[in-house]
Amino acid sequence: MVMEYFSAQLPSVFKVNEAYIQQEQNQFETLVLGSSQMQSAVNPEWLDSPTLNLASGDQHHDTDFKLLKGIQGKNLSNLKTIVLEVSYSHFELPHNGPNFWKHSLYLKYYDINTFERSTYFKDRLLYLANPRFFSERINEHFIQKQGFTDFNAFGFNTENYEGQFKVLGYDEEKIAKVPNFKINTKPNAYIFKTNTALFLEMLDFLVEKNFKVIIAKLPMYKTYPARRNLDILKRRDSVLASVLQKYPNTQLLDLENNTTDFNVNDYWNQSHLNPDGAKKFTARLNEFLNASN
């Protein structure tokens, strides 16, 4: 039963993406990369061009770059646009590094080596990648009898509503009183230097391969901006301003502070959209993609 669970239930989005890649093969024109914020914001089903969304939770630019290079070996000759996430503190959060527990998932389901070393047979054994995490999921499934949401054929969770905002009834007064939520407010000059250098290296790679690039600043709920560290914010925006001048193949899709088109009912929590918000964001991304074609 446990092995059946691992093969069929736990890494469901990875299994769906694996099937989607095999089905579409050489048809993809757009690749989306990023963290859970991007994963929950883009439903390829609503885009005009065939799109693969490989964003996932806690995924940083170093892993994005490895996936980008790995997918290059999949004979995706129609691929022409890469969508990258640059959140408020993307440049001052540590990269995933060689020990990121998701490396086994990328290897098993996408056949992409992100370990920064040669792989061994055990690298495809998911439980060994993160025993604590997978033990918790097994307990939820077999002991607590909790179900798991199915993803659509494009790897998007269409039922992703069960977040903090729904629990609070989308009540703006209650949400405003939430004392803490996940946001990085600690500047780190060393990490900023390292992350910026890798981001520019990735953009140089994309220029060399003649890709168009869309950099996305995803919508944040209105209580989020007030908690940001201004030094982190200014450094991020300074880098992006320089990038847009240096790289003519790059565009910025900036909806980070958009409170006109996005309202409380569009959010899962302060920094993640639910499927209603994703429908709006994907529509805007679709406009960008169509305009660049």
- Report the DSSP beta bridge partners of residue 85: 216
- The number of angstroms, rounded, from the C-alpha of 198 to the middle of its chain's C-alpha atoms is 17
Tell me the pLDDT band of 141, cut-offs 50, 70 and 90. Answer: low
Is the model's pLDDT at 242 over the cut of 80? yes
Q: Using one digit for the tens of pLDDT, what is the confidence trace for 1-27?
A: 334 434 444 557 898 999 999 998 789
Determine the Cα–Cα distance for residues 124 and 105; give it in Å rounded to an integer. 7
Tokens of 80: 């022409």
Tokens of 55: 């964003």
Domain annotation for the chain: domains and CATH numbers: 2-292 (3.40.50.1110)
> Any idea how long the chain is?
293
pLDDT reported for residue 6 = 41
pTM of the prediction? 0.93
CB 129, CB 235: distance < 8 Å? no
CB crowding 265-284: b at 16 or more within 10 Å, else e? ebbbbbbbbbbebbebbbeb
State the greatest distance between any 2 C-alpha atoms of the chain, in Å, as a whole number.
55
Q: Using one digit for the tens of pLDDT, what is the confidence trace for 94-129?
A: 999 999 999 999 999 999 999 999 999 888 888 777
Ordered alpha helix ranges (H), the chain: 2-8, 12-24, 36-39, 61-72, 103-105, 126-129, 131-138, 164-167, 172-176, 189-208, 230-246, 275-292
Determine the Cα–Cα distance for residues 6 and 105; give it in Å rounded to an integer. 11
CB crowding 174-196: b at 16 or more within 10 Å, else e? ebeeeeeeebbeeebeebbebbb
CB 60, CB 96: distance < 8 Å? yes
Q: Using one digit for the tens of pLDDT, what is the confidence trace for 41-70?
A: 999 999 999 999 999 999 999 999 999 999
Tokens of 283: 């529509």
Determine the Cα–Cα distance for residues 151 and 47; give it in Å rounded to an integer. 17
